Amino acid sequence: MGRRRAPELYRAPFPLYALQVDPSTGLLIAAGGGGAAKTGIKNGVHFLQLEQIKGRLSASLLHSHDTETRATMNLALAGNILAAGQDAHCQLLRFQTHQQKGKTKAEKAGCKEQGPRQRKGAAPVEKKSGAETHQERIELSVENLQAVQTDFSPDPFQKVVCFNHDNTLLATGGTDGYVRIWKVPSLEKVLEFRAHEGEIEDLALGPDGKLVTVGWDLKASVWQKDQLVTQLQWQENGPTFSNTPYRYQACRFGQVPDQPTRLRLFTVQIPHKRLRQPPPCYLTAWDGSTFLPLRTKSCGHEVISCLSVSESGTFLGLGTVTGSVAIYIAFSLQGVFLSGCCSCSVSGLLL
């Protein structure tokens, strides 16, 4: 699996930490910022329009939403509502798109002549049709909805947010180790329980209401509401030595292709401590109902920072702290693509 350099799609004026794609409009939503520090780096959510230009994918800025002093560090999407993790808070945003007929540059400038200037005796230039002179373009508006504090540790920070299958609830986790479940869009709290001793690193909600959480206490737990169902047993049966502690970095549910009623759970395990000669990281597939491990594969010595599953459940994407991206086949965990993406940690990844 050779490493390839990925072409640059878009360069934001601030560090990017979270990505989403709206399937109804095809918009790419990118968020981040410089935080509250007075460095001159702004905070915002950018809505990008994707299009093919000469066979290559290109992104253009459609709308920029200013988030003032708060950088968006994690992001979830439900229809046209975004849940943005900003410091210790979750901010809901609603965006709406509509088509508007745009004018040509000449019309905007108030120019009386349409088309190029004609020389004497030259044949008249054929007038362009309205479809050519008036282009349909998308306009977008964003409004802030409810916001709520979701983490209450001494140094509070929301690390992850996700919606349930019907977008009526969202779950948050952060540095205080508590899972909190909120109604959408009122953000009324309906459930709160301590899931881990220490930080929650990631969580995933399944369509049957089961919740998987992974934390810095080296545990991965499966919950039904606030009741512990089971804990994943990877270290006990995994390919590592007992003197090399690993922790779960990420978890995601994915569909089983051609079996829409079945799910797999995917997790990433990384060494709990950085070593001079780092041991490998691992990618594991689990049965989505029994939560027993199906297969585990080493995914290199670069520390994994994020995990993504394609909508069909066919592919997995991994990002690393050194800026590379890899794609794996979900069924076999076979690597099919490796790219040098950027010169810093990959914080968000979409397939």
pLDDT tens, position by position, 185-210: 999 999 999 999 999 999 999 999 99
Which is more confidently placed, 174 or 102? 174
Query: What is the CB neighbour count within 10 angstroms for residue 126?
Result: 7
Distance CA 141, CA 171 (A): 26
Checking if the pLDDT of 53 tops 70, the result is: yes
Mean pLDDT, residues 112-121 taken together: 41
pLDDT tens, position by position, 213-271: 999 999 999 999 999 999 999 876 666 655 788 999 999 999 999 888 899 999 999 99
User: What percent of the chain clears pLDDT 70, i.e. is strictly above it?
Assistant: 83
The identity of residue 196, as a single letter, is H
* Contact present, 92 and 86 (Cβ < 8 Å): no
Q: What is the pTM of this model?
A: 0.85
- Looking at residue 261, its pLDDT comes to 87
Domains, the chain, with CATH or none: 8-99+138-149 (no CATH), 158-228 (2.40.10)
Checking if the pLDDT of 295 tops 90, the result is: yes
- Looking at residue 277, its pLDDT comes to 80
- Looking at residue 313, its pLDDT comes to 94
Write the DSSP assignment of 87-114 as a string of letters. Answer: TTEEEEEEEEEEEEEEPPHHHHTT-S--
